[in-house]
Amino acid sequence: WVLMVTAQTPTNIAVIKYWGKRDENLILAINDSISVTLDPAHLCTTTTIAVSPSFNQDRMWLNGKEISLAGGRYQSCLREIRARASDVEDEKKGIKITKNDWQNLHVHVASYNNFPTAAGLASSAAGFACLVFSLAKLMNVQEDNGRLSAIARQGSGSACRSLYGGFVKWVMGKEENGSDSIAVPLVDEKHWDELVIIIAVVSSRQKETSSTSGMRETVETSALIEHRAKEVVPKRIIQMEEAIQNRDFPTFAQLTCADSNQFHAVCMDTSPPIFYMNDTSHRQVAYTFDAGPNAVMISRNRKAATLMLQRLLFHFPPNSDTDLNSYVIGDKSI
């Protein structure tokens, strides 16, 4: 027999960025962060997991290509979910799996991203969130999304925020074992549904510095990162939460842009400096850039979004270097 589940998880874009770890194995951040989860119709990972007594090892395929599960991050997620598995019964198929059976059963995972993988569009966020969520469904794990977020976090820090829709905060936590380092929903996707998010993919090439090694180098070499984590971000988090609650767009836009700028400033302050943006990324508007050159722009209404998109297409006409795709999130079309 074979038992399968499929789940779909959107990616998220941080408006107050996570950059730097206090524990690399457990993936514990040096500051809180806040993100907005995108509409699953546009940028998401779809994961199908199958379990069968005939499988003799855990295997995974990403976008159709087999990848190794040997890395600690995949192993942590599998181990943590298996430890919480409960009995599963499918009467129609005559399948009965006990809590203990799960420890010896192997899974096959097939995962697809409908957007560029590892180009700085938080593909690991959607990927690990979806892996953990679908494993939890398959193995009948009885834990809430907060607890699941702490497991997804061990796959990739930003993944913990993709377990919820709307605006989400990743609380860095204080505990050494990471038990209080979880995602909490701030407001759901209906709270501020006039927001339109545009992602200008100016390059879908794989970024040169991964977030993991980039933030490690920043923590080791930047003189500014401690000031950012201890002084700047804690204040910004409070202001950002208030701006989101009040749907105060001017404050929201100011904080989002300032935080993106400071994140890239600490990257520049890293030795050797990390350049995540290429020349085509620099433009006005309410923007935020992750660890890649692609711009994410947020506006308040369709009209402003349309103008922004027109301006963008004018400035970056698609050519061989610039493959400009624009994803419009939060609205059907513009």
Tokens of 282: 């620099």
Least Å distance between CB 326 and ligand DP6? 20
Alpha-carbon gap, residue 217 to 20, rounded angstroms: 9
Q: Which two tokens stand for residue 25?
A: 């194995």
In the bound state with ligand DP6, the residue whose beta carbon lies nearer, of 189 and 290, is 290
With contacts defined by CB under 6 A, name the span among 10-18, 52-60, 80-88, 226-234 that binds ligand DP6.
10-18
- Out of 7, 9, 10, 18, the only residue in the binding site for ligand DP6 (CB under 6 A) is 18
Residues in the interface with ligand DP6 (CB under 6 A) total 15
Instruction: Please report, as residue ranges, which positions from 273 to 312 form the binding site for ligand DP6 (by CB under 6 A).
Output: 290-291
The residue among 12, 16, 27 whose CA lies nearest residue 216 is 27
- Contact residue for ligand DP6 among 156, 222, 256, 281 (CB under 6 A): 156
17 scored as a contact of ligand DP6 (CB under 6 A) = yes
Beta bridge partners of 97: 88
User: Which residue's CB is nearer to ligand DP6, number 145 or number 156?
Assistant: 156
Q: Which is nearer to ligand DP6, 114 or 212 (CB)?
A: 212
| Least distance (Å) between residue 82 CB and ligand DP6 | 21
Question: Shortest Cβ distance from residue 139 to ligand DP6 (Å)?
Answer: 23
Whose structure tokens read 């855990």?
58
- For residues 58 and 68, give the distance between their C-alpha atoms in angstroms, rounded to a whole number: 10
Distance CA(117)–CA(137), nearest Å, equals 25
Distances (CA, A) of 143 to 43, 147, 308: 26, 6, 42
For the CA atoms of 258, 202, 275, 123, what is the dihedral angle to 10 degrees?
Answer: 80
Q: How far is the CB of 165 from ligand DP6 (least distance, A)?
A: 16
Q: Work out how close the CB of 26 gets to ligand DP6 at its nearest, in angstroms, rounded to a whole number.
A: 11
Count of positions (residues) in the chain: 334
Q: Is residue 149 a contact point for ligand DP6 (CB under 6 A)?
A: no
30 interacts with ligand DP6 by CB under 6 A: no
Is 278 exposed, middle or buried (CB count within 10 Å of its CB: 0-12, 13-18, 19+)? middle
Query: Which residue from 142, 175, 140 is spatially nearest to 153, judged by alpha carbons?
Result: 175
CA separation for the pair 166, 168 (Å, rounded): 6
> Is 212 among the residues that bind ligand DP6 (CB under 6 A)?
yes
Q: Do the strands 28-29 and 196-201 form a parallel or antiparallel pair, or are they unpaired?
A: unpaired
Among candidate residues 6, 28, 33, the one with its CA nearest the CA of residue 18: 33
296 C-beta neighbours (distance < 10 Å), count: 26
Which of 85, 240 has the CB closer to ligand DP6? Answer: 240
* Binding flag, residue 15, ligand DP6 (CB under 6 A): no
Which CB, 135 or 309, lies closer to ligand DP6? 135
Give the residue, chosen from 124, 134, 256, 281, that forms a contact with ligand DP6 under the rule CB under 6 A: 124
Nearer to ligand DP6, 85 or 291 (CB): 291
Which residue, 139 or 262, is less far from ligand DP6 as judged by CB? Answer: 262
Give the interface with ligand DP6 as residue ranges (CB under 6 A).
14, 17-19, 27, 33, 122, 124, 156-158, 211-212, 290-291
